[in-house]
Structure 1
Amino acid sequence: MQADQGPPTCHTLPGLSPGQVRLCQLYMDHMNAVAIGARQALLECKHQFQNRRWNCSLLNDVNVFGPVITIASRESAFAHALAAAGVSYAVSRACRDGQLSSCGCSRMGRPKDLRKDWIWGGCGDNLEYGYKFTQNFVDVREKERKFKRGSKEQGRNLMNLHNNEAGRRVSEYLS
Structure 2
Amino acid sequence: MSFSGLAANGSTVDWDQTQHCKLLDALVPAQQHLCKRNLELMHSVVHAAQLTKAVCQSAFRDLDLKLTHMTNVVLSLSSAFVFSLASAVLSHSIARACASGELPSCSCAPAPAEQAAPDFRWGGCGDNVRYGLQMGSAFSDAALNVRRSGSLAFKLVHLHNNEVGRQLLLESVETRCKCHGVSGSCSVRTCWKALLGVGHVSEQLKVRYLAATKVVVRQAGGRRVLVPREMEVRPVLDNELVYLVSSPDYCTANARYGSHGTTDRHCNKTASGSGSCGLMCCGRGYNTYREQVEERCHCRYHWCCYVTCRKCQHSVERYVCK
One fold, TM greater than 0.5? yes
Relative to its length, the structure with more strand (as a share) is 2
Amino acid at match of 1:37: A
Match of 2:71 among 49, 69, 72: 69
1:85-104 counterparts in 2 under 5 A?
Answer: 85-104=88-107
**1:46-88 CA-partner distances (Å, limit 9, x unpaired):** 11100104242xxxxxxxxx24223221110000011111110
Structure 2 residue aligned with 1:26: 37
Structure 1 residue aligned with 2:54: 43
Q: Secondary structure at the match of 1:157?
A: helix
Match of 2:171 among 140, 165, 173: 173
Larger radius of gyration: 2
Q: Is the 8 A contact 1:110 1:122 kept in 2?
A: no
Cα 1:136/1:124, change in 2 over 3 Å: same
Deviates more, 1:119-128 or 1:47-56: 119-128
Q: Distance in 2 between matches of 1:138 and 1:6?
A: 20
Q: Tell me by how many angstroms 1:147 deviates.
A: 6.6
Structure 2 residue aligned with 1:63: none
Structure 2 residue aligned with 1:61: none
Q: Secondary structure at the match of 2:96?
A: helix
Q: Distance in 2 between matches of 1:155 and 1:6?
A: 34
Q: Distance in 1 between matches of 2:51 and 2:118?
A: 30
- RMSD value over aligned CA atoms? 2.5
Structure 2 residue aligned with 1:154: 152
Amino acid at match of 2:42: M
Structure 2 residue aligned with 1:129: 131
Q: Is the 8 A contact 1:85 1:168 kept in 2?
A: yes
Q: Tell me by how many angstroms 1:109 deviates.
A: 3.0
Q: Is the 8 A contact 2:52 2:86 kept in 1?
A: yes
Cα 1:87/1:6, change in 2 over 3 Å: closer
Amino acid at match of 1:24: C
Cα 1:113/1:52, change in 2 over 3 Å: farther
Match of 1:11 among 22, 46, 49: 22
Larger RCO: 1 or 2 (CA < 8 Å, sep 6+): 1
Q: Tell me by how many angstroms 1:41 deviates.
A: 1.2
Q: Secondary structure at the match of 2:50?
A: helix
Q: Distance in 1 between matches of 2:166 and 2:146?
A: 20
Q: Which runs of 5 or more residues in structure 1 are unaligned?
A: 57-65
Q: Distance in 2 between matches of 1:38 and 1:23?
A: 16
Q: Tell me by how many angstroms 1:14 deviates.
A: 2.8
Relative to its length, the structure with more helix (as a share) is 1
Match of 1:80 among 74, 83, 102: 83
Q: Distance in 1 between matches of 2:116 and 2:122?
A: 12
Q: Is the 8 A contact 1:20 1:141 kept in 2?
A: yes
Q: Is the 8 A contact 1:30 1:100 kept in 2?
A: yes
Q: Distance in 1 between matches of 2:95 and 2:118?
A: 23
Q: Distance in 2 between matches of 1:115 and 1:15?
A: 50
Q: Distance in 1 between matches of 2:117 and 2:164?
A: 26
Query: Aligned pairs, how many?
Result: 157
Q: Tell me by how many angstroms 1:111 deviates.
A: 7.0
Q: Which runs of 5 or more residues in structure 2 are unaligned?
A: 1-11, 173-194, 196-322
Q: Secondary structure at the match of 2:156?
A: helix
